[in-house]
């Protein structure tokens, strides 16, 4: 296979809400380009980029996958991403290594919750965007309504460069407003088309839309504006050059139309990717950091020193652990050694590969701008930078959100505890938003993720991939405890048991801090009332005690402890004695500082048809939700609310029931708030029941 340079490469992340047809669109583009001999279908599990068994069973994407096409002397790396809210960090990670984003929306539903999320990611990475309206062949599809929805959310920079011919079952092709030619597609799904002049019934509307496109392009360039006024228009070449520039500068977001399931519109999309979207070397310089964290810039050229970012890891049954990377500068060669700048050690890499879904194609080298994979690296993880020891560049990766929900798991078979740990470590390499660990208070193994479905996917993977069957217990809400006023406290530990005794005495002041402050310890000892060597022991005692809680066994947060005085004994004092004294002072302080319980509040976006909004708002209110507002769409609305996590654990099934499966929601952690006093009593009672040794003092 030809080795491509950055100017010939397009890295395009296909992003958008779930069920907009991103995976099917990629299958269409692969088939239209000749990269595959048949067009895969979600329905029968034959798409190229949804190859994991969970994805096939669930009929939607869970992980990022890579495929590529060769089209008009260019290589287009297509990055397929999930659209479900709980898997959107996969999309964000993919967009970190892309040069542009193709935002896919449904011609039926228009802009949805995840559409806005990925749009914000694109803005964060300053990615040029192209918008593809898919499913134009579906019942209730409407180009006008969808364009209105897009322009309402993303502004008048959303400009059509195509015009659909027909809608719903009559959708038969597209009119290219740049070339003013019509693509008439066969109705048999083969992708065959005739390129013709514009049919008479569309001519006037197409001419009007082209005029608006030319005006928008000319606005961004004084020279083009002069020619537009002088000539009354622009040539096709001038229009294309101007369009390319405006897309690069985020002044225009071109809009195209297709119907992936009937293979309509794919060729024009491939043409647009090559002609309009930026190449991988469009920006000649790149920003990174040195080992001290200082920002530096360097060149993207293939002749420069090598640097590559590992942006995803997955487990393959044949190849083992596979690392996906983007080459940002220089050239990576197979069977060579590179320096892991993130972990400061040398890493030997074997055969470099291109990915066509799960198919791995060996190549000798990959140049700056390309995306590839390599298997069985020893100590390389997602977010690491591979490169040159002489140029210790660190490329920044994304930060992953905190887990939103936690479940306790236990193996069905005795003796599988070690297998669970080993399997979950490998799953965490693939998905950094999954966390697991042992709760020291309950001794349970906890698995945390972005939502219940997220955790269920992991449980299914444990069984299918690693042969570990587990029981999933109801999720644990990560309550916290805090104080609401200041208090003085005294901790004194004195014990005589023959020989050396134990003695430590400390006085503290405990004070509330703002939400999110966690814990602060201030040493205000003067005059040696407590020797310097014992002060860390006081803090350790308080730290240990606060992690076990006071009211109901939950960690105590958002408070400051000032150590103000104390006493010691030359012989009987020890670190252990002062640790105990610190914990005693903490408990006395908590008793006098009016302790309370905090609960995690979630920011919730619920998208549903207008007729269900009243019922949904009533339901959220019954869950102690606080409404932040509603955004209206043509046929749907988005409710924004803040709701306690404890009230949202089973929300998915309720939403499906209320909206007959037509609603969707996204939930992420917002902040902690005080639990109402009446509910606190129930939480404390449950804690006493389950852990009597940690009952309130």
CATH of residue 612: 3.30.70.240
In a domain, 396, yes or no: no
Percentage of the residues of the chain whose pLDDT score is greater than 90: 68
Q: Report the pLDDT averaged over residues 245-254.
A: 96
Question: Is 643 found in the same domain as 524?
Answer: no
d(CA 152, CA 96): 26
From 649, 504, 611, 515, select the one nearest 566 (Cα to Cα). 504
pLDDT tens, residue by residue, 490-533: 999 999 876 678 999 999 999 999 998 999 999 999 888 999 99
The answer to whether residues 248 and 186 belong to one domain is yes
Whether residue 394 is contained in a domain is answered as no
Q: Is the pLDDT of residue 476 over 80?
A: no
Closest CA to 162 of 153, 151, 174, 170: 174
What is the SS3 assignment for 119?
Answer: helix
pLDDT one-digit tens code per residue, 129-182: 999 999 999 999 999 999 999 999 999 999 999 999 999 999 999 999 999 999
Residue 679: which of 394, 428, 479, 509 has the closest Cα?
Answer: 479
Q: Is the torsion defined by CA of 132, 75, 316, 385 positive or negative?
A: negative
What is the Cα–Cα distance from 447 to 445, expressed in whole angstroms?
7
Per-residue CA distances from 87 to 38, 210, 454 (Å) = 28, 38, 8
CA of residue 300 relative to chain centroid, distance? 26
| CA-wise closest residue to 596 among 557, 561, 539 | 557
Q: Confidence class of residue 418 from pLDDT cuts 50, 70 and 90?
A: confident
Are 119 and 238 within one domain?
Answer: yes
Indicate the DSSP class of residue 2: P
Query: Residue 307 domain-assigned?
Result: yes
Two structure tokens written together for 408: 């306790």
90 CB neighbour count, 10 Å cutoff? 26
Could you tell me the CATH number of the domain that includes residue 346?
2.40.30.10
Among residues 276, 311, 337, which one ends one of the domains?
276
Domain that holds residue 506: 481-593
Interatomic CA distance for residues 506 and 489, integer angstroms: 9
The reply to whether 158 and 115 lie within a common domain is yes
398 found inside a domain: no
Same domain, 228 and 272: yes
Q: Is the sign of the CA dihedral 106, 109, 113, 116 positive or negative?
A: positive
Instruction: Please tell me whether residues 334 and 375 are part of one structural domain.
Output: yes
pLDDT at residue 92 in the model: 96
Residue among 205, 356, 193, 177 nearest 259 (CA)? 193
Domain-located, residue 661: yes
Question: Does 272 lie in the same domain as 246?
Answer: yes
- Is 21 a domain residue? yes
Structural domain count of the chain: 5
User: Is 567 found in the same domain as 626?
Assistant: no
Element (H, E) at 385: strand 385-387
Strand partners, 164: 174
Q: Which residue, 429, 448, 476, sits at the end of a domain?
A: 476
- pTM of this structure: 0.76
Are residues 521 and 415 part of one domain? no
Q: Does the pLDDT value for residue 601 go beyond 80?
A: yes
CATH (domain of 159): 3.40.50.300
Say if residues 451 and 87 touch (Cβ distance below 8 Å). no
State residue 695's pLDDT score: 41
Are residues 466 and 509 both part of a single domain?
A: no
CA distance 517 to 480: 13
Contact 69, 270 (CB under 8 A): yes
pLDDT digits (tens, 9 = 90+) for 205-247: 999 999 999 999 998 888 888 887 878 778 889 999 999 999 9
For range 367-385, the mean pLDDT: 95
- Report the CATH number at residue 421: 3.30.70.870
Q: Identify the H or E element spanning 480.
A: strand 480-483
Structure tokens at 207: 């001419």
The verdict on residue 693 lying in a domain is no
Are residues 274 and 248 in contact, defined by beta-carbon separation less than 8 angstroms? Answer: no
Last residue of a domain, one of 476, 497, 514: 476
Q: Is residue 23 part of a domain?
A: yes
As a whole number of angstroms, the distance between CA 136 and CA 633 comes to 19
Q: Does one domain contain both 250 and 332?
A: no
Co-location of 518 and 466 in the same domain: no
Structure tokens at 369: 């701008």
| C-alpha to C-alpha distance for 121 and 399, rounded to whole angstroms | 12
Specify the DSSP class assigned to residue 516.
T
């Amino acid at each position: 296979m030809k080795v491509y340079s950055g100017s010939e490469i397009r890295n395009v992340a296909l992003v958008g809400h779930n069920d907009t047809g991103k995976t099917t669109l990629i299958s269409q583009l692969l088939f239209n380009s000749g990269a595959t001999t048949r067009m895969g279908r979600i329905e029968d599990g034959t798409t190229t980029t949804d190859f994991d068994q969970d994805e096939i069973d669930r009929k939607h994407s869970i992980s990022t996958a890579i495929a590529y096409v060769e089209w008009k002397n260019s290589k287009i790396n297509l990055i397929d991403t999930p659209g479900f809210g709980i898997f959107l960090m996969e999309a964000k990670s993919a967009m970190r290594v892309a040069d542009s984003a193709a935002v896919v929306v449904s011609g039926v539903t228009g802009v949805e919750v995840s559409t806005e999320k990925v749009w914000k990611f694109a803005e964060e990475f300053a990615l040029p965007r192209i918008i593809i309206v898919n499913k134009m062949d579906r019942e209730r599809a409407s180009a006008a309504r969808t364009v209105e929805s897009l322009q309402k959310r993303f502004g008048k920079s959303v400009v059509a460069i195509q015009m659909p011919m027909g809608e719903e079952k009559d959708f038969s092709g597209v009119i290219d407003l740049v070339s003013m030619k019509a693509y008439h597609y066969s109705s048999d799904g083969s992708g065959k088309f005739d390129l013709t002049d514009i049919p008479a019934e569309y001519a006037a509307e197409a001419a009007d839309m082209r005029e608006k496109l030319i005006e928008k392009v000319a606005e961004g360039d004084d020279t083009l504006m002069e020619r537009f006024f002088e000539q009354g228009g622009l040539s096709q070449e001038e229009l294309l050059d101007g369009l390319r520039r405006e897309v690069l500068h985020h002044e225009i977001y071109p809009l195209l139309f297709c119907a992936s399931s009937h293979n309509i519109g794919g060729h024009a999309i491939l043409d647009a990717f090559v002609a309009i979207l930026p190449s991988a070397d469009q920006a000649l310089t790149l920003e990174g950091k040195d080992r001290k964290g200082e920002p530096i810039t360097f060149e993207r050229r293939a002749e420069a020193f090598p640097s590559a970012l590992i942006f995803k890891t997955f487990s393959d049954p044949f190849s083992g652990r596979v690392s996906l990377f983007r080459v940002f500068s220089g050239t990576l060669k197979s069977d060579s050694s590179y320096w892991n700048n993130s972990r400061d050690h040398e890493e030997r890499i074997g055969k470099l590969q291109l990915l066509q879904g799960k198919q791995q194609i060996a190549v000798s080298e990959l140049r700056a701008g390309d995306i590839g994979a390599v298997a069985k690296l020893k100590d390389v993880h997602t977010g690491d930078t591979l490169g040159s020891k002489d140029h210790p560049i660190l490329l920044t990766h994304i930060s992953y959100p905190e887990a939103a929900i936690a479940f306790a798991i236990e193996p069905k078979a005795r003796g599988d505890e070690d297998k669970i740990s080993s399997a979950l470590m490998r799953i965490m390499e693939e998905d950094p938003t999954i966390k697991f660990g042992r709760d020291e208070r309950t001794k349970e193994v906890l698995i945390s993720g972005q939502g219940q479905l997220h955790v269920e996917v992991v449980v299914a993977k444990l069984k299918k991939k690693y042969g570990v069957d587990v029981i999933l217990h109801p999720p644990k809400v990560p309550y916290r405890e805090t104080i609401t006023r200041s208090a003085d406290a005294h901790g004194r530990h004195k014990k005589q048991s023959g020989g050396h005794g134990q003695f430590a005495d400390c006085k503290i002041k405990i004070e509330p801090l703002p939400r999110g402050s966690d814990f602060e310890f201030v040493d205000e000892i003067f005059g040696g009332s407590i020797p310097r060597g014992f002060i860390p022991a006081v803090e350790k005692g308080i730290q240990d005690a606060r992690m076990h809680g006071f009211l109901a066994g939950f960690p105590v947060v958002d408070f400051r402890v000032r150590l103000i005085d104390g006493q010691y004994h030359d012989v009987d004092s020890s670190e252990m004695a002062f640790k105990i004294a610190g914990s005693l002072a903490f408990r006395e302080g908590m008793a006098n500082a009016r302790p309370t319980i905090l609960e995690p509040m979630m920011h919730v976006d619920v998208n549903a048809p207008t007729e269900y909004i009243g019922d949904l708002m009533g339901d959220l209110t019954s869950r102690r939700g606080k409404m932040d507002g509603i955004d209206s769409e043509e046929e749907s609305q988005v409710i924004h609310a803040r709701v306690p996590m404890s009230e949202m654990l089973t929300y998915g099934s309720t939403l499906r029931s209320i909206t007959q499966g037509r609603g969707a929601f996204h939930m992420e952690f917002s902040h902690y708030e005080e639990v109402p006093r009446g509910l606190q009593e129930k939480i404390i009672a449950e804690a006493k029941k389950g852990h009597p040794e940690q009952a309130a003092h």
